[in-house]
Amino acid sequence: MSGIGKSPQTCPGISKFVRPVPEFFKCPECGGQVEIWSDEDTGICVSCNKEFPRPGKEKSCLDWCEYADKCREIIREKKTLTPG
């Protein structure tokens, strides 16, 4: 209904990959904030600059969907089209 809009080929499960948002986790080293973008598996602590993997990595539909290859293609295209 909402969000994806004019991209009928994408399923809702990959919206966070197509339109990544930053998520914050507590740094296990210094207690600072580790910023991990929703399309990334690792992030950098803003305080100590160390890299950490996403805690409790959630399975996305890309892990099991039979159309995952199509979605990966779409994600790749979006990333190429969007600068930065």
- Would you tell me which residues interact with Zn ion (CB under 5 A)? 27, 29-30, 32, 45, 47-48
Least distance to Zn ion, CB of residue 53, Å:
14
68-84 b/e with 16+ CB inside 10 Å = b? beebeebbeebeeeeee
Nearer to Zn ion, 14 or 43 (CB): 43
Least distance to Zn ion, CB of residue 38, Å:
20
Nearer to Zn ion, 13 or 32 (CB): 32
